[in-house]
Each structure stands twice: as C-alpha cells, then as structure tokens.
Structure 1
Amino acid sequence: MPASESRPASLDDICARLRSAGCVFAEEEAQLLLSAASSAAELASSVDRRVAGYPLEHVLGWASFSGLRIELDAGVFVPRVRTELVVNEAVALLQADRALAGCEGESPAVVVDLCCGSGAVGTAIAARIPGIELHATDVDPAALDCARRNLSPVGGTVHAGDLFDALPAALRGKIRVLAVNAPYVPTGAINTMPQEARLYEKRASLDGGPDGLDFHRRIAAGAPEWLLPGGSIIIETSQSQAAQTADIMAGTGLAVRIVRSDELDGTVVVCHGRPPA
C-alpha cells in the first residue's frame, strides 16, 4: 500500500497494523516509529516499510545495542542482543588487565573488532573502557560507512579489507583483545532464517560456509601472529557449534573456554594465547 494511502491516525492503528504483520512487540515498535517520525507522511512510510518486512532497525536508522544507539543503514547487519556477550567478556578481560597492572605508564590496550559490520562491538567496548586503542575491519563498504560514524566518537579507526589483511602491519603481535562476530550460519540454514535477516541483510554477513565455520578456521589460522603474548580472542558462535569452534581455536595452540549466557541467549569461545616468556 502506498504511503499516501496509509496514514495511521493513532498508536492503536499502528499497533494493529504491526500485529497483523506478525510483529511480536507491536506496541514498543509503534512507539519508536512515532517518536522517530518528523511528519505524518514519514510515519506512514515507516509503518509501511515495517509491515512489508523491513527490519525495525533499518527503518529507524539505528539499533539498540549494549545501552547505545548504533547508527545503521539499510542492508547492514543488525547487531543482536546475544553479541553483547562478546562485549561483556572483552570488558572483563580489559578490566582485569587494568586492575593487575594499573593504568599509570601503561600503553593503551590494542583492541580489534574483526568483521565489525556497523562497529557495534568496538563502540560498546570503547564506551565502557575508555583509553583503548581501537581498530575495526570489514569488507562491506556500507558497513564500513556505518562503522566510521559509530567509532569516530570513541576514537576508533576503521580499516577496509578481508580479516587480518585489513590491519596495519604495525599491529602484528600487539593485539590484546580480538573481538569477533564473523558469519557463522551454515549456508544451507540461511533459507530457514527469519525474513528480516534472510531478505534484508547481505548474505555475506551471514554465510559461514557449509558448516558455518569457514571464518572461524581462517581466524584461528591467522590470529596467533597478531596477538600480544597472552592476548585473547573472543569469538561468537552458536550453542550447537561451540564445541567445534573451541576445537578449531585450540588446534592452533590457544587455550579455550566456552561461555554461555542464557539471559542474552549468547555463546562465545574465549581463547588465550601463550603468556609472555
């Protein structure tokens, strides 16, 4: 229905349309759409797009993540609540470092948000641990544009390229925390994903290869030479794939543990390199 023919007159009208389209949190979404619209025409257009299946975050132009508003353009991977576990584990490691060593005279910890998408993970880490040296990488130009807007206020630097190829050579052997949310959906499972992801997020941001673990293998192979002695990788995976991801990481000499949060419905593998000799 064209926007000109759909001008919801009230919150109840919008909720009814959203519910009929299958939106579980119709009232909350309606409130957000109402507050974001600057005119009746813009509101009508936004509701039309949401009813048509566009992700709410793409309609609004931002996603809520770890208590922050992350700017988001159409087609860019939407950060999930479960990925906040990557942030929490990274923050815990960095806080432990500071408590052990103290901040005075210490070089800033180098943190890399690999496969950063919109830069949500790096932005959230930097917001909670000021003073880190933050870098982020991705191959998608649209995602990189969002990442630059999100990371600039927290002092992050964004690099375009494939995994470690994007990073400056000067970072080799200096990364304290490598935070990773690389694609891990098995190719054959993409067609079973919700419409919002399947149709409106780029396949390259989802597809992890036949078993979903292609990127995890590549990251495990390349990461050790980039980590500071004793540095860590925190990599998101699924609950069903966690043991395989852990085995892949352990196979390159990293010490691994699986962390699960039922509250966030998130699973990560935390990997530690060898400590300094």
Structure 2
Amino acid sequence: MSIIRVNGLGFDVHVSGEKDNPGLVCIHGAGANLDQFEEQHAYFSDAFYVVSLSLRGHGNSEHPPGPIQETYAIRVLAQDVIQILETLNIRKTHLLGNSAGGVVGYEIVNQRPDLVRSLITFGTTGKMAVPGFLRQVTLRVDTRNVTHEPETRLKKLAAYTSKNPEVVSQVYRMFMAARAGIPGLRYALGSYNYLPLIRSMEVPYYILKGTQDRDINLFLGSTLGALKDQATRTNLDSRIITIPQAGHMTNLDNPREFNKRLLELVKPN
C-alpha cells in the first residue's frame, strides 16, 4: 500500500499484480475503505492489475477542508480517482464500484469514458432524488452519529449491512475510520441521476445484485430498465447477475460466488 497525492490530498492506495495485465479498479461505498477489496486482490492479482483506494475522508485517506457539501460532490470524488489512475498510468480499466463507489464509477464514465473498459456495480442505483430538506436532516443525523457516541451509533449502522457477524465487525471498523467522510459523502448521494448516462454508455455495464440487499433492490427498477435499453441499443453484453446469500456489501458476504461471477464478466475473450 502507498499514499498517492492528488488534488492536494493524500490517498491510501493498494496495488497488486503486474502492470501489463488488464486493470481492475475497486471503489468502495460510504463509510468503507480499500480493505473491503482484500479478497479481490488475492483472487484477481495473478491475471489483473488490481487497484483499490480509500476515498477522501475514508480509511487512511485525508479529509479535505471546506464545506463538505462541496468537497464531497460526486464529480470531485471522480476527479480524485481519475487523477490516481493517471498517476498510476492506467489507460483503460474495468471499474468495480459498491454503492457510492458505483455512483463514482458512473461519473468517471461521464468525465473520462476513454479510461473505462467496463463498469460493474453492486448496491448502486442509477438515480436518487431525496428532497432537499431530508438531505439536510440526514446530514445533521450523520454528523451527530460520527461525533456523539460513534461507537454505539456506528455499530448499529454496521449491523444493518449484513447478516454475518464477522462482516458486521469489519464494516464497523471501516465506519470508525471514515467518520470524517461519512456525512459529506452520504449528503452527495441524496441527489443524482445517471439513468441517461447508463442508456448512452458505449461499454458493457453489469450489475451484481445481492439477494439480501433489500433497500437497494427496492429501487433498482429504473436502473435495470436503463441497462436493458443500453444493451438493446448497443448489443453489448450488459446484464444483471444475482449473488445469493449476500447483502449490500456483496463481496464481503459471499466472496467466493462474487469472485467467480466477476471473473466471468471481466475475463478476456
């Protein structure tokens, strides 16, 4: 692991595999960090150049100064990742994003489609439209959670992510290391619409759906519709793949099935 400085901040980055291999870049969601993708480094690094990173304010990456409503905007997070890829001299890569990481993936496709070989998301919806006043309420609640008795409050939030006690413990540790970044990133996730982008993408788009990710699965309808429209228009192999016995952080709950199905998608023909 190493620290890469871009946009005036230090970012924790983990790289494994040979640089000449196809790229696989892993982006976590709100409250997590690069530790979420340890299994993917172990499984894919023989054939891929695997990169995971901790977004600003998460893990060992630095938290920016300034209003978090601006410093954690999705376009800014995407620019962080793009500059890290450029620093690593990655020309084209598969993008794997969980939850907020998938939304960052959409924005990377939007800003720099030339960098993307395929986009794979899990626990991510293509559109979110939370009313402004509710976003402000959520921001206040999140700020309280990470500043007032965070051990108790974040432990309860972690318990909601998985039915596996070991996964819950790992998620809790990641949440505790992301206290600076959680409110800003979750605020940014309150309002976005990448459905038109999904329909217009010129690279394969895959959704890995954890069967136990109840909340996200309730809102996947419009995203799946956009994926179907894109696949029909382009004739690309865009599709949804179901992962059993897995929740929001699908790769932690069922890593064996997750890696197997992911390899089927990114494996060169």
TM bucket normalised to smaller: 0.3 to 0.5
TM-score (norm 2): 0.37
Q: Which of the pair has more CA radius of gyration?
A: 1
TM-score (norm 1): 0.37
* More relative contact order, 1 or 2 (CA 8 Å, 6+ apart): 2
